[in-house]
Structure 1
Amino acid sequence: MSDDHVFLSLAEGHDDSDARWAFGTGFEDPLHGVSTEVPDGVDRAELAACCLALGDDALVTAQRLAEWTTRAPELEEEVALANIGLDLLGQARLLYARCGQVDGTGRGEDAYAYFRDADDFRNVHLAELPNEDFAFSMARLLVLSAWRLDHFERLAASPDPVLAAVAAKGVKELTYHRQYAAEWVVRLGDGTEESHRRMRAGLERVTPYLGELFAAHDARENVLAVLEQVAGAAGLPLPQVPAAAAGSGIGSGVGVGSGSGRAGEHTEHLAPLLAELQSVARAHPEATW
């Protein structure tokens, strides 16, 4: 199966007209005209926890993608990965802003991004792992994009109008992210003997972390369908996927999981990543830009 065929199949059901455009190309405010009042019946603590966890996933993934700048195989890929990172950074900003509105602290987005320690973060483990080689990074991006897209499609119907608006915008972005990663998985898996070996190793490397992702609702079935389709097109076997732990619903009936990362337990890789990310803000805490 060619890359184009993978794209057409994965993009089915989405608006193809802007699915390939990154965050910086659209300048409409997704929250324009959206009420910021928390609707009756929505648990503010659960809503804040949902926004925080999904914001942390986006921020940490964006930081890992930024590390490919000057290191990607081609200049075009550096631009693409930077744009995907900007999409996720934009999602993180909106989610952090909403978290500060509903958790009672009134904190701004910078407070969540720059002035929390590793054990205060709620991102999944897969997002914080080092990049390793390009094949691993594409396998991770495929998994995280497919998983996040499944969540955002559900959250677009959230009773909280802000979360619904953020998710609706994110669906278009994540459709492109998933497709970009899928094309590279097929390209590497169906390429040379060495690229096939590396791509297979990349999929095997991300597989142990799927259990934490699938701890939330029924994302497992949809994400595995994407992985099976892409792996098949790439001529790659799909490694055995671990069973999911019992999840906990957070935020309008859409869970974000209950794995170790969600509980603030992280690998040794998150603290150094945050130290680099937060260094300037912490050195100049009162600075304005």
Structure 2
Amino acid sequence: MGADNVDIFQRLVFSVPSLSVQVPALAGLSLVYGAIAFVAVSTFTPLDPAPASVLPVAVLLFFVPFAFAAELFSRVLSQYPRTWSYFLALTSQFVMFVYALVLSGANNIGNAWSIIWLCFITLYLLNILVLVISTGIDRYKRVLLVSLAEPAALIAAFYAIGGGGDLGFSTYRHVFAFASLLIAAAFLVFVLLVVDYLIRSNTDVSAFALTSGLLRNDRESLDLGVEARPAVETFAVDNGDRLTVAAPWVHPG
């Protein structure tokens, strides 16, 4: 049997599809998701959306926010590959689609509002978690800001199509929804910082730095050894030629 090829294993585990595959997939799936969501809303809710609205809503909700975030991640976060950005965008796009299907089953406006904002919060937390694992916890402030781009674009699109202001909710309800988004993100980052602190206090190495380095195939020193100064005994052997030997823990007798 031949030796294991570690390089092939690494490429198999850490490779993602190329941009020539992911970009068309992001555009094509936005139309597919939009059409399926339109059918679900028309079938399971009392709403009667016009068929002409499928394309603009699909582009506005399922393509533009995710394409914008995919380009932004790789530009703002150095050493974050563009292919990874689009792969994360495709994942977030699918999560958005699942929430759209769940939304079609809402039985009242209050439940629909909760599902919509839960979707925004989920996408924000997903981006934070993936980017922290991929780039390291030390850049959490930048990650918090750049991760907000995707849900912010979705929120803007949500209000642009009239989903935010025509539901009869008070200003307090809108402010509370925004605050919940930020509080959830702050709590997640706090938990990640605590976990990193606990691990770093024992090993002096950041777990997220190790993870991000592993994903980028970078080498990191664990530095887990214990410094020691063992006693060294010195003895000489004279058999015509004198030889002096220094060895730890060797009794001179």
Q: TM-score, normalised by structure 2?
A: 0.31
Considering fraction of residues, name the structure with more helix: 2
The structure with the greater share of residues assigned to strand is 2
Q: What's the TM-score, normalizing by structure 1?
A: 0.28
